[in-house]
Structure 1
Amino acid sequence: MTQQQSYDLIILGGGAAAFAAITEASSRGLSTALVNTGLPLGGTCVNVGCVPSKHLLALAETASTPAHNPFDAIKYTEGEPSVNWEAALDGTDRLVEQFRQENYVSVAEHFETDIYEGYGRLVGDTTIEITDGEDEGSRIEGEKALIATGSSPQAAPIDGLDSIDYETSETILERRELPESIVIIGGGYIALEWGQILHRVGVDITILQRSERVLSQMEGQLGREIQRCFHEEGINVITGTNFQQVRSKSADTGVTDTETSVVVETTLDGKNRQFCAEELFVATGVKPNSENIGLDIVGIETNERGSIVVDDHFQTANPDVYAAGDVIGKPELETVAAKEGNHAIKNAFGNEGKTIDYNAVPAVVFTSPEVAAVGTTELEYMDEHGTCSCRTVQMEDVPRAKAVKDTRGLLQVVKHHETDEIVGVHMVGPRAADMIPEATLAVKFGLTVDDIIDTIHPFPSFSEAFKHACQAFRRDTSTMSCCVE
């Protein structure tokens, strides 16, 4: 590539937001260039997030199936399954490479986007300089610029943490051998998904959460239910912990005990507790990749978390620079990043005024059972209106769940107390990720509970739980036959 190139659009970052942007830019006949920094092309989701974790969740679930067989007619006589973790990661790597090639590299080639590899930083309003890497020394400039640099794992400020080695959702994918035991610090979706993966492939797992429940940003019933399910599966989940210190076992004895190499000191219910394991996994959130990319040079502001400040149309304080994806903050979701990247280009080059209603964005935790939610929680509604009209059904009352002998979970509907419009749906259960789109449409378009009741659902299906929760506003569902409308 030449030393200096000009384009209509230049992008700093190579993930979902970036590729949604180049797709929209191509439809408008715009020339584009992308500087890929950090992870390989495709960003977090394809390389170290959604794709590898969901692949390994499915693998781990298959491995655990004999131990959780609910049918008396089926017996297993060969004992627990054996999992070859190195082979599992080799298969994950092949899958990631396939996704990267088909969904990113080939797409960039199709849209004739120039890819520059290396660390990029803004040196002018819409000029990016590559400061190291394969294309070090190159400069690209554009009419508009998009910052889509994503996020990285962030460690909580716990005494001693910076002096020991620990795993994250990125580094664990490089481990070809697993320890016997791991303590996980954190109670969000990364901690839960990876906790279940590692437990099901044979690692002794303890999850430590600072707040009183896991998934503390979601509806309270969800965290309590998934915690109950984890305990039944044999995963130790401890909440309400006040972290005091993390240290190496060798700090006491001078000799490393391979069975208890890491000690996490906490206070729990006013008492000092120690949790020991061979290794530590930190899953305490992410931080935006906004440092050292030249934001101050072009007058772009960040908030206290380091997220780039944008308006409702994804425009920064510099009118020629837009930002999208994890680097602008929550919710850090691949699909949201893609929508933001698409809208940023429509606004930058078409002045279309595109925005996103973040209240209608679904969130999913791909554990078993799955957790899914959209819209307002019961507590949020109570805080705003001083009352709440909510109904919850247990999966054990849903015919499909009883038929397949998987009755874990629940589903709650929050409706407006005057209009009956559905404002929130929160669920734990099998296939919750596939059930949440219907609820998302209900929240997005202001459907009422009667609209859902009047919609025929297939029988028997898990999706009937949503309908049953809506029917609970109108009748006593305990005296209802399977197919009553």
Structure 2
Amino acid sequence: MVKEENFDLLIIGWGAASFSAAIKASELSGGQMSIGMVGYGKIGGTCVNVGCVPSKYLLEASHSVYYPQHPRIEGIVPSQVNYDFSRIMDGLRSYVREAREKKYVNVIEAYDNVTAIEGKARFLDGRTVEIYDASGSVKARASAPNILIATGSRPSVPSIDGLRESGFLTSDTVWDLDRLPASFLVIGGGAIGLEIGQALAHLGSEVTVVEAMERLLPQTEPEIGDAVLKRLEEEGMRFYLKARVMSVSKKGERKAVKVLTHRGTEEIEVDEVLVATGRVPNTDALNLEAAGVKTDRAGYIMTGTDMRTSREGIYAAGDCVSKKMYLETLAAREGVVAVSNMFGDDMRIDYSSTPWAVFTYPQVAGVGVTEEEYSKMAGACSCRVLPLSQLTKATIMGEGGGMIKIVIDPNSGRIVGVHALAPNATDIITEGAYAVKYGYTTDDIISTAHIFPSISEGIKLAAQAFARDISRMSCCVE
């Protein structure tokens, strides 16, 4: 007999957006709202299990191996670091398990009003879903007047001749490695491909990246993308830009990859292939047509900035939503916006001031629009680039090759974009987010004291570059 469940709020998915929404709804109702959370796979979703957490752990481990061998300060002798890749991966998986337990399993158990149901959901109508197990057997039906879809996404696998037959890794499966392959070909030069690629290269693997676009990280400024390419090439990574993989085949214990480049077709032999060509939404099995929920061509759910879908009473949040950026912090915020609007508020998500980052070293981070984007939007813009060679803290660290760029409206001086390639760029970009969100001008930045010497001082120097030649400034000039 199929169990029937009724809730005040039904959440489909159990990742970052789902947990944020469940916690917010519980707070709004003083713990009185009955909430059902339907999910499958490891609780916690992408970020803690196969995304942000393991990738940053691996990056930190790899930096600890690589940079002592490549010191950037005079007088420090390169030192060999001995390490055990298998033990690093054991530590990574152990950390992920502990994080999942602490931040998700234990958290949900603390909310008596939340019922977690393992299984996949399929809409029967706009208020009811059936929940089925891995075998396809229906185990329950759940109904609610308010539903949040937060099913996340999964790696996209391109249709490349011989790829599936030859075998490959993705950002979901690379964490299962116990032995470091001697060489990798990474398909995709976005954030995932560059982060995992640099980590593997730092640990000693030969890494080749094939990217279809003409430059890396098109979401940031061209000069930053070019500088990232230069730095990673200096560290030994190889890149094929404006190129695509035509086929993959087995060649003994290795894999032969045919790559179409501007020079013609080249064959590259590697030990392993990592696919990092983006992600696709987990919406294909939801039967959204029965609920009247519209998606774009790729299957992402279409919402307004209030997270409402095309069906009254159904909202969506997280990586299954059609938008420009896919971030855990953004997913969590969308979950809060969705449930707040369900229960009487009028809240909107602010995508324009949401910062993003790539955790290579040096890090890349940005917020707002680029010079090209604002020029197209407004007809003109003004911008300045601070080379980190002009920033004392960066040169002390031997990291003068990065930069910070600020984009402003030329009429008002209002800051509309901040982009950085720098150590700790992920920490300093929050200042840029406040500037974009609240309409700060360069004068607002300049009139605020910054720590010297620090990387964050670079934001102030970049702002000062609109008013003076910073190469002719002494330290801490106001």
TM-score class normalised by the smaller sequence: over 0.9
Q: Deviations over 1:313-364 (max 9, x none)?
A: 11112102111100013311000100111110011122x2211121111110
Q: Given that residues 288 and 329 in structure 1 are in contact (C-alpha distance below 8 angstroms), is that contact kept between their aligned partners in structure 2?
A: no
Residue pairs, 1:61-460, within 5 angstroms: 61-76=63-78, 80-112=80-112, 113-133=114-134, 137-243=139-245, 245-250=246-251, 256=252, 258=253, 261-330=254-323, 331-350=325-344, 352-460=345-453
Relative to structure 2, which stretch is displaced further, 474-483 or 311-320?
Answer: 311-320
Q: d(CA) in 1 for partners of 2:72 and 2:219? A: 32
Q: Given that residues 21 and 342 in structure 1 are in contact (C-alpha distance below 8 angstroms), is that contact kept between their aligned partners in structure 2?
A: yes
Q: d(CA) in 2 for partners of 1:83 and 1:201? A: 9
The residue matched to 1:107 in structure 2 has which SS? helix
Q: Deviations over 1:26-46 (max 9, x none)?
A: 012211010112x31100000
The residue matched to 1:356 in structure 2 has which SS? coil
Q: Given that residues 310 and 323 in structure 1 are in contact (C-alpha distance below 8 angstroms), is that contact kept between their aligned partners in structure 2?
A: yes
The match for 1:253 is none
Q: Given that residues 2 and 138 in structure 2 are in contact (C-alpha distance below 8 angstroms), is that contact kept between their aligned partners in structure 1?
A: no
The residue matched to 2:132 in structure 1 has which SS? strand
The residue matched to 2:347 in structure 1 has which SS? coil
Cα gap change, 1:72/1:473 in structure 2, threshold over 3 Å: closer, same or farther? closer
Q: Given that residues 151 and 288 in structure 1 are in contact (C-alpha distance below 8 angstroms), is that contact kept between their aligned partners in structure 2?
A: yes
Q: Given that residues 408 and 430 in structure 1 are in contact (C-alpha distance below 8 angstroms), is that contact kept between their aligned partners in structure 2?
A: no
Q: d(CA) in 2 for partners of 1:476 and 1:61? A: 35
What is the RMSD of the two structures over their aligned residues, measured on CA atoms? 1.7
The residue matched to 1:5 in structure 2 has which SS? strand
Q: d(CA) in 1 for partners of 2:83 and 2:2? A: 49
Q: Given that residues 325 and 338 in structure 1 are in contact (C-alpha distance below 8 angstroms), is that contact kept between their aligned partners in structure 2?
A: yes
Q: d(CA) in 1 for partners of 2:57 and 2:423? A: 17
Amino acid at match of 1:300: V
Amino acid at match of 2:386: V
Q: Given that residues 446 and 463 in structure 2 are in contact (C-alpha distance below 8 angstroms), is that contact kept between their aligned partners in structure 1?
A: yes
The residue matched to 1:145 in structure 2 has which SS? strand
The match for 2:56 is 54
Q: d(CA) in 2 for partners of 1:394 and 1:226? A: 14
Q: d(CA) in 2 for partners of 1:120 and 1:172? A: 28
1:76: how far off? 4.3
Q: d(CA) in 2 for partners of 1:76 and 1:188? A: 31
1:398: how far off? 0.1
1:73: how far off? 2.5
Q: Deviations over 1:41-71 (max 9, x none)?
A: 1000000001111111111100112222123
Q: Given that residues 118 and 136 in structure 1 are in contact (C-alpha distance below 8 angstroms), is that contact kept between their aligned partners in structure 2?
A: no
Q: d(CA) in 2 for partners of 1:164 and 1:234? A: 26
The match for 1:6 is 6
Q: d(CA) in 2 for partners of 1:154 and 1:92? A: 24
Aligned residues: 472
Q: TM-score, normalised by structure 1?
A: 0.94
Cα gap change, 1:116/1:434 in structure 2, threshold over 3 Å: closer, same or farther? same
Q: Given that residues 201 and 237 in structure 2 are in contact (C-alpha distance below 8 angstroms), is that contact kept between their aligned partners in structure 1?
A: yes
1:385: how far off? 3.0
Q: d(CA) in 1 for partners of 2:413 and 2:449? A: 19
Q: Given that residues 22 and 111 in structure 1 are in contact (C-alpha distance below 8 angstroms), is that contact kept between their aligned partners in structure 2?
A: no
Relative to structure 2, which stretch is displaced further, 145-154 or 132-141?
Answer: 132-141
Cα gap change, 1:158/1:218 in structure 2, threshold over 3 Å: closer, same or farther? farther
